Structure 1
Amino acid sequence: MLILRSIYITLLTSLTLAAFNVNAAENRYVTEDFSTSLRTGPGDNYKVAGTISAGEKVELLSSANKYAQIIDSRGRTVWILLDQLTTEPSAKVRVPELEQQVKELTDRLASVDSDWNQRTTDMRQKVDSSNSVINGLKQENQQLKDELAAAKKKVSEISVQLDDKQRAIIQQWFMYGGGVAGVGLILGLILPHLVRRRKKDRWMN
């Protein structure tokens, strides 16, 4: 009797499936209840085939009335109430995905932060290097200014010395010229007297 009953249930299930509109297999998720009963057929009068955990991912095969035929994670082909399924992943599935997304975003943020720190360090090094070059140029410019001022001072001193020497030379020339002029004047006054005296001496002889 038990064997015949099993055969009868199997045939009835097959006939029932043939009468249903069989849809392409789709993924569904058990709702967030603690557990849901599974049945061997699409009705409350069918034997309970076990339970399934909340949030578990299942594969939808077909539907009839308020029941859906599914394949669970254990590979069982069973029936479950349609309102116990949802197209949205449960928290059991979403939480690990969200955790993975958070981890990826955290890693990316750390990478961006590290890259930004490296760029900031490079920019600071460039700024420090530029400041060093600028300070070096300022020092060199100040040194050139100091050297130019010293050169101008030296030129001024040399110019003063040249002016003094020129004045001394001019004074010497004036002195020499005055001496020559004086000698010439004296000779001019004395020579005529000497010439006259010689003539008188000749006449007297």
Structure 2
Amino acid sequence: MQKLRLICLTLLSLSVTVVAHADEKRYVSDELNTWVRSGPGDNYRLLGTVNAGEEVTLLQSNEETKYGQVRDSNGRTSWIPLSQLSTNPSLRTRVPALEQQVKDLTDKLTNIDTTWNQRTAEMQQKVAQSDGVISGLKEENQQLKNQLIVAQKKVNAANVQLDDKQRAIIMQWFMYGGGVLGVGLLFGLLLPHMIPSRKKKDRWMN
């Protein structure tokens, strides 16, 4: 009877101190493989070890002995010190994720660098094309200036020729006018001598 009472009291104390968990995720310490036991204390039989950083499921915990009941990836149920459990993912699981993040970031940086190089090359090509267009416009402008200079020289030469023709025409008109004036003057001087006077004619008739 005393043994039965002792067992009942032990079970009652365990039922008071044991806290159940709704299958919470925990991670074994990364330092070393950890021994697991058949019960919530150091006096219970060893069942083996769990790997460092392994993910386990916390089923319940004993606040007095600071042990937690866990289920590992193989479905085995055992007890492990709570100090060996963590709520954060282990380095064993985080390192691959971090490596993947580093790879993703490296790929993004590579893509950004490639895109930037492509855009830089496109901009350089556009600038080169713009320089070519500007150079062509400058050359065309210079050609137009040269053509304008030639045209101005031709206009000046035409103006000089026009002035010479105008002077020649004016001189011809002066010559014609002078000739007409001279003929008229000569005719005016000779005309009186060519017509006999009426007085002389009347005297001769008498």
Gaps of 5+ in 2: 1-9
What RMSD in Å do the two structures reach over aligned CA positions? 2.4
Residue 95 (structure 2) pairs with residue 91 (structure 1): no
165-174 or 134-143, which deviates more: 134-143
1:56 to 29, 54, 57: 54
1:191 maps to 2:191 = yes
Question: In structure 1, what residue type is equivalent to 2:34?
Answer: T
Aligned to 1:134: 134
Go from structure 1 to structure 2 and tell me whether the alpha carbon gap of 1:198 and 1:175 turns closer, same or farther (over 3 Å shift): farther
1:38–1:25: structure 2 CA closer, same or farther, 3 Å change rule? same
Normalised by the length of structure 2, the TM-score is 0.84
Identity of aligned residues (%): 59
Distance of aligned partners of 1:104 and 1:14 in 2 relative to their CA distance in 1, 3 Å threshold: farther
Is the partner of 2:24 in helix, strand or coil? strand
Displacement of 1:98 in angstroms is: 1.0
Alignment-mate amino acid for residue 29 of structure 1: Y
Greater shift after overlay, 31-40 or 166-175? Answer: 31-40
- Aligned residue for 1:135, secondary structure, equals helix
Distance across 2 between alignment mates of 1:14 and 1:114: 68
State the Cα deviation string for residues 44-66 of structure 1 (Å, max 9, x = none).
22110001121111111110121
How far 1:197 moved relative to its partner?
7.5
* Distance in structure 1 (CA, Å) of the matches to 2:117 and 2:163: 68
What is the one-letter code of the residue matched to 1:134?
Answer: I
Matches within 5 A, 1:35-46: 35-46=33-44
What is the Cα deviation at residue 133 of structure 1?
A: 2.0
1:174 Cα deviation from its structure 2 partner: 0.9
Q: Deviations over 1:152-186 (max 9, x none)?
A: 11111111101000101111111111112112212
Match of 2:119 in 1: 119
Supply the AA of the counterpart residue of 1:89. P
**In 2, distance between residues paired with 1:17 and 1:159?**
127
Cα deviation 1:14-52 (Å, max 9, x = unaligned): 988755221111111111232211101111221100011
Equivalent residue number for residue 158 of structure 2: 158
CA distance in 2 between counterparts of 1:99 and 1:17 reads 44
Shift of 1:78: 0.5
Letter of the 2:164 counterpart: D
Match of 2:21 among 7, 20, 23: 23
> Residue by residue, what CA displacement relative to the aligned partner does 1:111-144 show, whole Å, maximum 9, x if unpaired?
1111111221222222222222222222222222
How many positions carry a matched residue from both structures? 193
Shift of residue 67 of structure 1? 0.7
**What is the CA–CA distance in structure 1 between the aligned matches of 2:52 and 2:104, rounded to whole Å?**
27
Q: Which residue of 1 aligns with 2:177?
A: 177
Task: Give how far 1:105 is off.
Answer: 0.5
The CA distance in 2 between the partners of 1:104 and 1:18, in whole Å, is 49
